[in-house]
Amino acid sequence: MDQEKERAITSLFEVVSSIERKWANEWNNHNVLGFSKSHILILDYLSQEGPKRPSAIADRLKVTTGGVTVLTSKLINAGFIEKTQHATDRRASQLKITADGEDILEDSRQQVSALIQNMFGMLSAEEVQTLRDIFAKLLNAEPNRHE
Assign 59 a pLDDT band (cuts: 50, 70, 90): very high
Task: Please indicate, yes or no, whether the overall pTM of this predicted structure exceeds 0.85.
Answer: no
Residue 37, burial from CB neighbour count under 10 angstroms (0-12, 13-18, 19+)? middle
> Residue 36: what pLDDT?
86
Mean pLDDT of 51-79: 94
Find the helix or strand (DSSP H, E) in which 95 lies. strand 93-97
pLDDT at 34: 81
Handedness of CA 29, 33, 39, 43 (dihedral sign): negative
